[in-house]
């Protein structure tokens, strides 16, 4: 198994190009099931989760073509043809690898009236049930059973629009319901919907395919069902979590770099927290410039968008461990998202866990150590810590990183980091 070896202490300087958003592209790919036309996606990141989703769609008969890239750094174009779909089974062996696998359920039910979809995998950051997805689809008229680890769903007479009020915010349930409702009869109203920018990206793609959707980006979304959707061409939005990750890496190494293509307006809460901690964030014509003043401890609480993203909590902790003073990081979305804490402590961080809060007391410096990556964002937090630490850090189990970060080692090395991938 590959590892990442880092010799820390070099400030990151230069430019880092931000890729297309994983958590948008995966759902956009699932919309191909809703149309017989061709869906062309531009700016698709080169990630393991993208390949897994492509494999899942191909296993159901969807035509999947990656355009021959102009160079290994060029963004990918992906063409998906849902018209050739010949199976409504989403197999355990593929879906267990990632959370987004369950996002084929809504489109399959809406277009084909049935689905057999394995309960999904993804990062082991909590129990992550899918009850809100299932209850919402039932409210649109779907019959749903669980059988041997599979969701077995049917809507033989088609889905019917309804008002669905989510008891709490779920990104995935909102996305599944939006996709399902595009082809339902009548109007669907989603109340207490997720407001993440990826939801807006999904709605914009569906609108380009002929769907009637209003309110995406607010907590109430209305979808008026149509008889069919056409193909479309859509560009995947820039990855705000990749952006926040590199911003924190630059700050943690006290560097100075431009994140090319970043969309600062999708990162308001994270930018505010970084600014409060002493990170200087400038909006520049081609993205965001990150520099660092004196770092001071800052409290952060994760919340659904527009709050501070849970997907940046581990990276923020890696930044706060060498800030002056104390910070309290509180995780409200996932019950098991502090697995980076013991690993950061192995590098000399001073952290106390109290339930869903971590009290970080800043130390002058970290020291490199062998550490174990446990999930995607925890893994990259260890990379950030390694870049800032004195001496050598070896990050083990880096397959998690390949799910969400494209050419991480090369992007960081181009900014001066001493980092290499070591074949294991
Ligand atoms: C592929 C993808 O886009 N993943 C993102 C998505 O995950 P995902 O869509 O899985 O996250 P949700 O917003 O659905 O989960 C939020 C909370 O609701 C709970 N829940 C969710 C659904 C449900 O039916 N029942 C239930 O109890 C979850 O366990 C969690 O505690 O949004 C999360 C929150 O921003 C991000 O951290 C993930 O990176
Ligand atoms: C938790 C994440 O991904 P997933 O939902 O696919 O596990 C993530 O992107 O941080």
Per the CB < 8 A criterion, the answer to whether 86 and 61 are in contact is yes
Q: Indicate the top mutation candidate among 237, 333, 336, 403 to test ligand 1's pocket, ranked by most ligand atoms within 8 A of CB.
A: 333
Helix axes 240-252, 313-320, angle to 10 degrees: 10
Least distant ligand from the CA of 239: 2
Q: Residue of the nearest CA to atom 38 in ligand 1?
A: 311
Same domain, 373 and 352: yes
Shared domain for 161 and 265, answered yes or no, is: no
Regarding whether 284 and 206 lie in a shared domain, the answer is no
Torsion angle of the four alpha carbons 199, 206, 44, 249, in this order, in degrees rounded to the nearest 10: -10
**Can you say whether the dihedral through the CA atoms of 44, 264, 271, 323 is positive or negative?**
positive
Query: Ligand 1 centre from 361 Cα, in Å?
Result: 29
- Domain end, chosen from 205, 235, 265, is at 235
What residue ranges line ligand 1, CB within 6 angstroms?
Answer: 23, 26, 99-100, 126, 128-133, 170-173, 310-311, 333-334
Residues near ligand 2 (Cβ within 6 A): 23, 98-100, 122-123, 125, 311, 376-377, 404
pLDDT tens per residue across all 424 residues of the chain: 889 999 999 999 999 999 999 999 999 999 999 999 999 999 999 999 999 999 999 999 999 999 966 666 777 999 999 999 999 999 999 998 888 889 999 999 999 999 999 998 766 777 789 999 999 999 999 999 999 999 999 999 999 999 999 999 999 999 999 999 999 999 999 999 999 999 999 999 999 999 999 999 999 999 999 999 999 999 999 999 999 999 999 999 999 999 999 999 999 999 999 999 999 999 999 999 999 889 999 999 999 999 999 999 999 999 999 999 999 999 999 988 999 999 999 999 999 999 999 999 999 999 999 999 889 999 999 999 999 999 999 999 888 899 999 999 999 999 999 999 998 7
Helix (H) or strand (E) holding 189: strand 187-191
- Ligand 1 centroid to Cα of residue 288, in Å, is 28
Q: Which residues are catalytic?
A: 123
From 235, 259, 285, give the residue that closes a domain: 235
Helix axes 22-30, 48-59, angle to 10 degrees: 10
What's the pTM value of the predicted model, to 2 decimals?
0.97
Single residue among 171, 204, 235 that ends a domain in this structure: 235
Residues 53 and 150 in one domain: yes
187 and 312 inside one domain:
no
Within this chain, do residues 110 and 179 fall inside the same structural domain, yes or no?
yes
Residues 48 and 14 in one domain: no
Number of domains composing the chain = 2
Residues 140 and 195 in one domain: yes
Q: Given this model, what pLDDT does residue 351 score?
A: 98
Q: Are 246 and 404 in contact, with CB atoms under 8 Å apart?
A: no
* Spatial contact of 140 and 161, defined as CB atoms under 8 Å apart: yes
One domain for residues 14 and 52: no
Q: Same domain for 150 and 246?
A: no
Ligand nearest to the CA of 356: 1
- Residues 270, 376, single domain; the answer is yes
Containing structural domain, residue 48: 22-235
- The CATH number linked to 89 is 3.65.10.10
Between CA 384 and CA 278, with CA 315 as vertex, the angle to 5 degrees is: 90
CA atoms within 13 A on the CB side of 251: 36
Same domain for 228 and 163:
yes
Ligand 2 centroid from CA 227, angstroms? 33
For residues 409 and 419, the answer to whether their CB atoms sit within 8 Å is yes
Complex-level ipTM: 0.99
């Amino acid at each position: 198994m590959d590892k990442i070896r880092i010799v820390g202490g070099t400030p990151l300087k230069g430019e880092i190009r931000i890729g297309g958003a994983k958590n948008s592209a995966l759902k956009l790919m699932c919309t191909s099931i809703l149309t017989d036309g061709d869906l062309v996606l531009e700016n698709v990141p080169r990630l393991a989760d993208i390949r897994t989703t492509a494999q899942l769609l191909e296993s159901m008969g969807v035509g999947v073509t990656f355009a021959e890239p102009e160079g290994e750094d060029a963004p990918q174009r992906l063409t998906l043809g849902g018209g050739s779909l010949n199976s409504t089974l989403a197999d355990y062996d593929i879906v267990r690898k990632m959370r987004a696998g369950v996002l084929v359920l809504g489109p399959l039910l809406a277009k084909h009236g049935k689905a057999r979809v394995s309960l999904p995998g993804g990062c082991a950051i909590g129990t992550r049930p899918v009850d809100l997805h299932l209850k919402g689809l039932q409210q649109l008229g779907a019959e749903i059973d669980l059988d041997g680890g599979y969701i077995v769903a049917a809507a033989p007479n088609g889905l019917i629009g309804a008002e669905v009020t989510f008891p709490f915010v779920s990104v995935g349930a909102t996305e599944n319901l939006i996709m399902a409702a595009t082809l339902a009869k009548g109007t669907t109203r989603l109340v207490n919907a997720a407001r993440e920018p990826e939801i807006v990206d999904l709605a914009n793609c569906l609108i380009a395919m002929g769907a009637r959707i209003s309110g995406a980006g607010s907590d109430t979304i209305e979808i008026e069902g149509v008889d069919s959707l056409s193909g479309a061409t859509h560009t995947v939005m820039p990855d705000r979590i990749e952006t926040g990750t590199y911003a924190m890496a630059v700050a943690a190494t006290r560097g100075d770099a431009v994140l090319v293509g970043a969309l600062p307006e999708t990162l308001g809460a994270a930018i505010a927290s970084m600014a409060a901690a002493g990170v200087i964030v400038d909006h520049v014509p081609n993205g965001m410039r990150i520099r660092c003043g004196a770092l001071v401890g800052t409290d952060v609480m994760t919340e659904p968008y527009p709050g501070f993203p849970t997907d940046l909590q581990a990276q923020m902790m890696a930044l706060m461990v060498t800030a002056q003073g104390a910070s309290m990081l509180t995780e409200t979305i996932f019950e098991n998202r502090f697995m980076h804490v013991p690993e950061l402590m192995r590098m000399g961080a001073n952290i106390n866990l109290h339930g869903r809060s971590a009290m970080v007391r800043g130390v002058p410096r970290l020291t490199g150590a062998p550490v174990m990556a446990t999930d995607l964002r925890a893994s990259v937090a260890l990379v950030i810590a390694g870049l800032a630490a004195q001496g050598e850090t070896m990050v083990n189990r880096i397959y998690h990183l390949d799910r969400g970060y494209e050419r991480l080692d090369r992007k960081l090395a181009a900014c001066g980091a001493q980092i290499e991938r070591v074949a294991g």
